[in-house]
């Protein structure tokens, strides 16, 4: 777990409450390069009730699985149900490597 990645994941949570979107990720995540990372990725989900369901879905979706299997050295996963009007988990998983 990396503080910079966790801070960024926490920032991304409210951005994805009403609509899951990678829009703007590349631009906003570019700030992470200032901490020495040279590769950054993101998985998002909002339609599952538990973190386990979210993770299982990522294992079954090629692009998400690609991030999970990639050669990232650090990551941070943040999930929240309190702000979601549908009471579903919103999860942001940020990956990076030096």
CATH number of 36-98: 3.40.33.10
pLDDT at 84: 62
The model carries a pTM of 0.88
Separation of CA 69 from chain center: 14
Q: Is 87 left (phi over 0), alpha (psi -120 to 50) or beta?
A: left
Q: How far apart are CA 68 and CA 95, in angstroms?
A: 8
The tokens describing 73, both together, are 């050295």
Q: How far apart are CA 9 and CA 79, in angstroms?
A: 9
pLDDT at 94: 96
Q: What is the chain's pLDDT, residue by residue, as a tens digit (98 residues)?
A: 789 999 999 999 888 887 889 988 888 899 999 999 999 999 999 888 888 899 999 999 999 999 999 999 999 999 987 766 666 788 999 999 99
Extended strands (E) in 13-88: 39-48, 74-80
pLDDT at 87: 67
Q: Residue 18 contacts by C-beta under 8 Å, 6 or more apart in sequence? A: 85
């Amino acid at each position: 777990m990396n503080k910079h990645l966790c801070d960024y994941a926490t920032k991304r949570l409210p951005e994805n409450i009403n609509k899951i979107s990678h829009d703007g990720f590349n631009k906003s995540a570019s700030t992470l390069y200032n901490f020495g990372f040279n590769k950054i990725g993101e998985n998002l989900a909002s339609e599952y009730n538990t973190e386990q369901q979210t993770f299982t879905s990522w294992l079954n979706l090629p692009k998400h699985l690609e991030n999970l299997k990639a050669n990232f050295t650090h990551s941070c996963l943040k999930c929240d149900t309190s702000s979601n009007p549908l009471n579903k988990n919103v999860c942001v998983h940020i990956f990076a490597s030096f």
